[in-house]
Amino acid sequence: MKISQIKDFFISIEVIPPLRGHSADNLYKAIDKIMPYNPAFISVTKHPPELEYYEIDGQILKLPKVKRPGTMGIVAALKMRYNVDVVPHLTCIGNSKFELEELLIDLDFLGIDNVFVIRGDKKKNVIKKEWQYDYAYQLVQQISDMNKGKYLYQTAKKTNFCIGVAGYPEKHYESPNLKTDIKYLKRKIEAGAQFVITQMFFDVEKYFNFVKLLRDEEINVKVIPGLKPILSYKSALKIPGTFYVDIPEELIEKLDNARTPKEEFWTGVKYTIKLIEKLKENNVPGIHFFTMSNTDAIVEILKHI
């Protein structure tokens, strides 16, 4: 089902593929715990290849390596295993537009209804492909064209993808300000994006303010709040530097005052439940959980909501 057409409140989760050489069994075990709560969809992250040095036959070679391969394999496996809508992340960085066209044709064969488009992080050692897009709106436009039967270099039937993009209640770290960031988001919507999943946030007012600013700009698509429970004081200190978001003083103090890891865990769970209660009171379309493929805290939250 297209995410843009879901009418009732829903929950959904994001998972990451296992590290290279690892089994998907732990991922399945984590998702098994969530399935009794009927997630509307599961999104799967994509990781571009990065250049690393290897010694092979006495030579030092710089070769591409994907640390978390198998996104498309995981997408197919989850769809067949759980009979649930699965949403693959599509990244501009690390893919040429021609590779993306072939990938989208394969996803159409698989019966994938929804895709999530991001530019991807600009890391020094990530390989830049020829014919690679610089901005997410360009890939959104390509998918929109495919939905109309317009391909880059081949003839095929029309696709029917519902396209999602990322939104940043506290702005993307590269944007000079929130207003400019919303201008970039509007460009993605105008190119054909039909829903937004936000970056994680820990203050509901930032989400409400963000949605108001979008509506003022006549951006009227679903804006799905993305949440990640913070389960330790240590992780609370790391998250701002990794995801460029603020942690409220109230949460930091509660985590700092917790005497055991178990108390920290429950502090994070209870804080997230309160966030969700406030969001539901304001009729959000659903809640999207960033799980990092660990769903124990999410299950405890879902028991209460």
**Could you give the residue numbers annotated as active site?**
14
Q: What angle do CA 72, 136, 197 make, to 5 degrees?
A: 75
Collect all residues with Cβ–Cβ distance below 8 Å to 2 and sequence separation of at least 6: 113, 114, 162, 194
Which of 223, 293, 225, 299 has the alpha carbon at shortest distance from 265?
299
Please give the Cα distance from 148 to 41 (Å, whole number): 25
Collect all residues with Cβ–Cβ distance below 8 Å to 165 and sequence separation of at least 6: 116, 117, 118, 136, 140, 185, 188, 189, 193, 195, 196, 197
Q: Which residue blocks in the chain are alpha helix, DSSP H?
A: 25-34, 71-82, 97-110, 136-147, 178-191, 204-216, 233-243, 249-257, 261-281, 296-304
β-pair type (59-65, 50-56): antiparallel
Given its phi and psi angles, is residue 175 left (phi above 0), alpha (psi -120 to 50 degrees) or beta? beta
Q: What angle do CA 116, 128, 148 make, to 5 degrees?
A: 40
- Terminal CA-CA length for the chain: 23
